[in-house]
Structure 1
Amino acid sequence: MDFTIRNATEQDAENIIIHMKKVLTENPDYLGTTLDEFTPTVEEEREWIRKHSEQGLMLVAESNHVIIGMLQFRLSQSKRFCHKGSLGITVQEAYTNHGVGSALLKTLIVWAKKEERIEKITLEVFSNNERAIGLYSKLGFVEEGRMKKNAKLGPDHYVDDIIMSLFL
């Protein structure tokens, strides 16, 4: 499968919204936001892209001019936490198990190692998302903690939120 990884631009806003709606439809039980809650305007999405570009990194994976994956990393602005940042990553179901997620994460890691202030990359992942946990573990992320029953997916249906980190 051919795809490219590149920095997101404000011109990607509309296509990122389309991508996120697709991911939220395909995997509603893996993300903290539900499809009905995801309602950004194109201008709001542009602002979100701008903030990530100024305070971190935002990448898209693209195949045949279609966004198929995305990673956003944001550095903490607080003095005591400015050595770390947190990431979010999404890949459309048709493109999983083809190296898209690995390529996005490896691009982030290479970039972060060049940034002197970054010592730690963190993320949160639902405990039911075994595929993502496997990917993060393969790339050296370790579990640092767990928030029990942190997300309620339905009546009497909860999942833990696992905090994972990679020390650079």
Structure 2
Amino acid sequence: MKIEASAHLSKSGKEITLREARISDAHSLRKCILSYINGLTIPFTREEFDKSDTEIENWINELNSAPNCLLLIAEYEDRIIGNIDVTSSRRSMLKHTGYISMGVHKNWQNQGIGSLLFRKMINEYERNQEIELLWLQAFGTNLSGLHMYRKFGFNENGRQKKFIKTHDNKYIDNVIMTKALI
């Protein structure tokens, strides 16, 4: 998908650029992702996220070249502060769906960056004739994330009890949410 870059204001009035990721963003994107991996909202640890800049470059290239896939970044003063990606299945019976994942740099959380990314992504997919259903998974304890997803029209379709087990042996539900676009 080819997306026009656009400027937006954060809650604090800072100008944020939303645009498609480029190969040259790999290092900055990797640093952003490492900042928000905290074991509270993403189901892997910093140690498990051992991607090199080259692997991130390959991921960017794969999403940018795959049909109906998208990788958007939020940028402030040439630093990546958030990202959202949508992956469309290659399976024929699932090609009408797009799986969403996202994160916001730890220093930029609760500034409206996630909502900016989500709004731009949904606007793009509402114009896309091939993706009919967007879906995501979220920690049941991620109350602010669940609130935002509902705000954008996502509905809870299932809850996998005790699906996530933390390092301190606590269990968290996995919430599955969808938004129909047709």
TM score, norm. by length of structure 1: 0.95
Instruction: Indicate the residue corresponding to 1:46 in structure 2.
Output: 57
Kindly report which structure 2 residues correspond to 1:1-168, keeping only aligned pairs within 5 A, or say none.
1-24=14-37, 27-55=38-66, 56-168=69-181
1:62 is aligned with what amino acid? E
Q: State the Cα distance separating 1:92 from its structure 2 match.
A: 1.7
Q: How many residues align?
A: 166
Unaligned runs of 5+ residues in structure 1 are none
Alignment partners' CA distance in 1, 2:33 and 2:47: 12
Once the 2 structures are TM-superposed, how far is the Cα of residue 50 of structure 1 from its aligned partner? 1.1
SS in structure 1 of the partner of residue 160 of structure 2: strand
Aligned counterparts of 1:148 and 1:140: Cα–Cα separation in 2: 23
Distance in 1, matches of 2:62 and 2:165, equals 29
Q: What is the RMSD computed on CA atoms of the aligned residues? A: 1.1
Which whole-Å CA distance do the structure 1 matches of 2:15 and 2:107 have between them? 13
Secondary structure of the residue aligned to 1:37 is coil
Choose between structure 1 and 2: higher helix proportion. 1
The C-alpha deviation readout for 1:35-71, integer Å capped at 9, x for no partner, is 0011111111111111111230000000111111000
Looking at structure 1, the residues matched to 131 and 143 of structure 2 have their Cα atoms a distance apart, in angstroms, of 27
Q: Percent of pairs identical after alignment?
A: 30
Runs of 4+ in structure 1 off by over 6 angstroms are: none
